[in-house]
């Protein structure tokens, strides 16, 4: 019961938490990170995985 209550509270707070930006230089590493987020993100936080090159291109 306590565990369910804690998960409910964390789930509500997840809606207020800003997205977590994860930056990497490797497409293989990005795919690995996305898979881990998908499998282990029990709190429902929003993660955005981007390549450094994508960020650089967006600035030019």
pTM of structure: 0.70
- CB-CB contact of 25 with 52 (8 Å): yes
Taking the chain (60 residues) in consecutive chunks of 10 residues, what is each chunk's mean pLDDT? 52 74 96 94 90 89
Q: Which domain holds residue 37?
A: 2-59
* Residue-level pLDDT at 1: 46
* Residue-level pLDDT at 3: 47
Question: How many other C-beta atoms lie within 10 A of the C-beta of residue 5?
Answer: 9
CA gap 56, 60 in Å, rounded: 7
Question: How many other C-beta atoms lie within 10 A of the C-beta of residue 4?
Answer: 8
* Residue-level pLDDT at 4: 54
Counting the structural domains of the chain, the total is 1
CA 21 remoteness from chain centre: 7
């Amino acid at each position: 019961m306590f565990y369910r209550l804690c998960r409910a509270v964390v789930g509500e707070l997840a809606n207020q938490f800003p997205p977590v930006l994860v930056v990497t230089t490797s497409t293989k590493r990005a795919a690995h990170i996305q898979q881990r987020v998908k499998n282990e993100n029990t709190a429902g936080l929003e993660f955005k995985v981007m390549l450094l090159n994508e960020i650089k291109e967006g600035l030019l």
